Amino acid sequence: MKIVTIKDDATAEIVVNKSKFIAFAIKTNDEQFLQDSLKRLRKTYYDATHVCYAAVWDDDGNSVRSSDDGEPSGTAGMPILAVINGRNLRRVTVTVVRYFGGTKLGTGGLTRAYAAAAAAVLDKAGCQEYVLCDKYSCKTDFVSFRKISAFGGIKDVLYENCVKFSLFVPSGESIANFVDKTCGRLEAQKIGEEYIII
């Protein structure tokens, strides 16, 4: 299973008919983190006319929130969410802070402005693909480690009288290939699952 999320947190700003839209893209893993980040932004931008957002924080796209924060219904949160979903992003919150510039934009103008702000910040944030992997606690001799280290998916290496490390194998794939490359000298115990960049 793969997920795509933003590579970096980012900020972008656009101006539409004198209204300023400041957009933030933030990596989000759960609803509590979402609420905490919204609280910080509302405190920082206490004088903003609106603080609208959309968030998808699970891997399947089922845990979703959006808010128009007083804008006409469907003109802010849903357009932001549409941009997130259009890029198949997960574990992300896009918040757009609006300072009213004196000219009403109408529902179509608001929808386009919030979507444009979301697109601008997501362009700046970039995206990164993660793969669900089985995580193994491993140990082997130095020669065998060299044979398998070229294949990647290795972290937390500790050199002692043998080499101890964590090995990440994409879920559904067998660790047998690694065991074969070491002629059976790889000791491995599955200790969980984790999303990693491959």
The class of domain 2-125 in CATH terms is: alpha beta
**CATH 3.30.70.240 domain position(s) in the chain:** 132-197
Query: And the tokens for 121?
Result: 């910040």
**Cβ contacts of 105 within 8 Å, gap of 6 or more:** 16, 17, 19, 113
**CATH 3.30.230.30 domain position(s) in the chain:** 2-125
pLDDT digits (tens, 9 = 90+) for 131-166: 999 999 999 999 999 888 887 788 999 999 999 999
Calpha distance 131→10 (Å, rounded): 23
Torsion of the alpha carbons at 150, 154, 155 and 156, rounded to the nearest 10: -90
Q: What is the CATH number of domain 132-197?
A: 3.30.70.240
pLDDT digits (tens, 9 = 90+) for 62-86: 889 999 999 999 999 999 999 999 9
The model's pTM is: 0.80
